[in-house]
Structure 1
Amino acid sequence: MKFRQHQEQAQAQTFKLFAWFAVLLAGLVVAINGLMALAYKLLMPLSHGYPALFFETNSGVILLFVLGGCLIETQRLREGGGQRVAHWMNGRLVKDPDDALERRLLNVVDEMAMASGQTVPHVYVLTREDAINAFVAGWSPQDYALCVTRGALDRLTRAELQGLVAHEFGHLKEEDLPMAMRLLALVWGLSLVHGYGQTLMSPDEIGHVNPVRWVIGLVFTAVGWLGWGAGRLLQAAVARQREFLADANAIQFTRTRDGLGNVLRKIWFDQQMLGGQMRHPQADMVASLLLHQSTLSRCMATHPRLPERIHRICGAVLAPMPAPLLRLEKAEPRRPPPIAPGVMLAAASPSQQPTQASGQARSPDDADAVGRLRRLAGPREKRMAVLALMMSAGNRHERKLWLKLAEGLTHAQQILDDVQGLRPEHLVPEFERLCKSIAADPLSDRRALVEAARDLLKADGRVSPRDRLWWLTLRHQMSDKKNSRPFMRPVTGQGRELADLQDDEMTHVIALSAYLARFVPEAEAQGLLAATSRAWYARVIARCTHRVQDLKPDGKIPDADALMHALAGVQELSWMIKPVLLRAWVEEALNHSPGGLLSNDTANALRLMAGLMDSPMPPALASHYPRD
């Protein structure tokens, strides 16, 4: 998604829509004057001309109702500001919570305030709402209120919560709240014209109906109803354009489209399977403020359709995503004392920046093992730790060879015990850290390490797809990138979307995806692909091409030469398209994993592949791992 281009388009559309609102009001004045002139001639056929100030009076009455009603409604909405709306929606103010999810919300709000350059609003949680939603309300920075549903806290990852909060800060940045309030007031003012007509048509105290008043009331009722309906349509159109602009700003603040994109996919899933609507009986009153609110009438909808928003954000209409409850095992640190609303956040020093704590907790034994591994200083100790990290758990042949290679090393058993005591999500980060620390060792030592790893992984007489991936990653990390050409040469280009890949590039993507399908999202069983792996592969290829007739995996694992050729080809892809391919692998793995959660084996395989491609991990994958 080119968010800057969408920002410019949305702003231009908003200006046009406001111009149309002015045209609507002028049209309303002309229509009522014309109908009143016609009614006067029907009732007074013998009269010449019109009474003095006839048209001026009609115009004044219309403007009095519309603009006067607007001022009255605006004043009413200003009372209490955003906090009044939050309390009205049964929101609870969050200040210094003990709840880990609420503390995470406050930290995310601080981060997005800093990223957007906006003030920190009052934060409320709608404790009775299970749907995933949020909104901001208020007139000025002093009374801004950000309300997030409990369902969003319980079922969104940290990256997704950032996307949701960033969307609301996008509204603050574009000053959408005063505009939304004024549009609401204008529509209410237009409804007064209709109400005035109904009053003129009603009978008096003794039940008599004045024909002249009734005709005049009919004119005001008909035109007022049309004006009110047109105003609602215009209000919905303005709100839809502002939603696109807020989406674009959210991507600008978070620097990723996965967070907000996955939030909308989860809302879509909720609406299809669970209803996904707010419980508050008056939720429709703030529908234009919500992150999303569905409606039966497409014309009156205050939000664009979810597939359209997802397409603009992700570049394709991705499938709805389940939203299981999170298990937050480690609480985030408490945020610093909140800055008073209305005070702009200044640039902070690194020590004052909000931290992104991992959702993974370390047990005491795991923390001790990590600490000992990070204190390894000897070159041989580090190399043996790398080999231990590459071993398959429970493989006695590999263990036996490892102990033989470690003969004479004083702390060999401790290193092996520490590696085997690590949590699964710590294996690849420690492997990458150790590889980086020994990448500057003499070339002969690095070559010996790669050869030892090859012998170790085939100690049981076979090399699994998982083993080959680890070995290729080690070889890539140990390659002499400074003094010689690595076995995969990075080349930049201008590719933008997977659908733009050439035939030869697609051949490499197909081969590499077929290889990954052996253990993503689950391992093969007796040489056969599992049904979920086949479905994962089919969805990945469907994102790249519509020519699916001969692209199904045939059960044959690409050999070493074919795999190396595919890796080299994918490495030649543009630096812009490689993250897109990685994201497709990760998103489809999430879609085909139980509960929408990656297994440790799947996450490790995708992280190793990201290293092979020299591409950053998508946020959905990075959130699986701890941050130190």
Structure 2
Amino acid sequence: MDFFTAQDHARRKTGHLVILLILAVLALIAVTTLVIAIAVHLMGGVQPSGPPGSPQTVDLSVQGLASALTFELVAGVAAVVLAIVVLGSLFKQMQLSRGGRAVAEALGGREINLNTRDADERRILNVVEEMAIASGTPVPSVYVLEDESINAFAAGHRPGNAVIGITRGTIRNLTREELQGVVAHEFSHIMHGDMRLNMRLVSVLHGILVIGLLGGTLLRSMRYRRIGGGRRDNSAVAILGMGAALMLIGYAGTFFGNLIKSAVSRQREYLADASAVQFTRNPQGIGGALVKVGTHTRGSYLEAAQAAEFSHLFFGQGLRLGFNRMMATHPPIEDRIKRVMPDWDGRFQVTWPTAQAETETASEDSAKDSAKSARTVGMMAGAAVLTGASARSAIGAMGQPDQRHLDLARATLDALPESIRTAAHEPFAARALMYALLLSQDREVRARQLQSLEQAALPDVYRELQHHAQEVLLLDDQLRLPLVELALPALKSLSEEQARHFRHCMGLLIKADGQVSLFEWTLYQMLLHNMSERDTGSANRKLKDLQPECQVLLSVLAAAGQDDPAEIHAALHAAEKELPFALAPTEEPPGMGALNQAVEKLRRLRPLQKPALLKAMARCIEHSGEIRPAEAELFRAVADMLDCPMPPLLTE
């Protein structure tokens, strides 16, 4: 399943789940109505069965109950149940509005300091950074759960606010290649839309659970009431019965929702395992991690109080099931291992590495990685060029990166000076690096930029800028976007006020020369997209409905790759072969304001409408035979803003 089909499948699955959950709510309404009808009948339907003073009986005949089921009762119960479910879901949705951070903190996670000295934490951060750059997704923040089990999760509404959570037992007990397998599995959930679907499930299921919680509240209130015989105690009996019924109804609804959640999660786990193998080209990575889960004394079971609520997000089964196998959110671990390692003998036997062996293995892996990186860095610094094939290859690899992209990501990180990599992990210095990327090569313009920034920027940030500016100015163009991606976790940790001031200072730098360059627009929009919670609205637009926006985007892209007007027109003509409409030749490329408005509307494209646009962009790029840095940056930035993770473009 390719990236766009997976995204569309996740979107359609959301619709199917909504239908099933609506049916569950309707069942709740029906059962609740029946319970309340019985309660009303009990409170008002006691009939004398003999002469005065003789025992009284309750008429529970069908006719008697039917008389209590009035339209007003059904409508009122439906309105109350719907209100409870909707308000409960909205409340949970508000709690999760911060994306993956809210989930990680609810599970007791702690964000790993990007400049941590802990060797285990440093190793997992390196793996996550490599995977993110190789897959073209923003580098997510990493949270550690102080739990000795082997488990992990990805959470967030979209790649820009995703986090990776991982237990202490995972980073302590797995080798580097096994960590790569686990992290690649979680990146598959991020790229293929599973993460967004899982977050929606959390909110909706909480709405159903609220009914059971309300029943529990009613039962607890009965502690202070005395229940005895006689007619005047019927109300207390009814409240007690209603509380117990609401608890049963609520948990029945949750059970039904969990069955839906489990059915979806099990299939997506198989797909994520397969993606991890394709990404790393190493079945032993994810397979070895799964074998260790089956061998470990704690397995993948978490102790976090809210683990049940987020059980479908985890890498492995987070809860002990006992006899209730129907509620498993993950396939049997034996089946998962067999799928990625068909030759597995079925025995859970592993050799747990000692600290010395782990250090030696890490040194060997580092030496191998350095040798690979040296070769790739040589290609990056040499005469190799990005061609049209590079763009088409990147589109084909979206959601399915492979070992070549991982090698290039390692090489890219190695090519960045150590001082720059360290600075990208610190919020003050990360802001300074972004300012440095906007500094002009023209000395006069740069002097005006520095003067305005000295007055506006925080003193500590300005000092960091002076320290790193020259080094950033000398960076190869191919390292600019990776540096932005590397700095994102530190920038996303800024408060709302700090982020606002950061954007203001960037605006001053951009406006210093009175015009907005293509790179300035690209950098600003990438940061804005990944640091904010801008909602695109529903993704329901077709490409043919956005012809003017496509015209603007492709005109800017064509002008970035060609200087001759005739070649610009030829590039547009090549691009329109992938589109359901023709493109008009333009005398002057549109401005950055028009480009911004166009991309905002194009973000609402349906998943299966996006490939045509990206292929049109690739056609436009390949027309000249090679890709300029400005073209490559715009190509990948637009893909990022469309929430399409574009892997690095590979050289021939």
TM-score, length-normalised on structure 1? 0.47
Higher relative contact order (CA 8 A, sep 6+): 2
Question: Normalized against structure 2, the TM-score is what?
Answer: 0.45
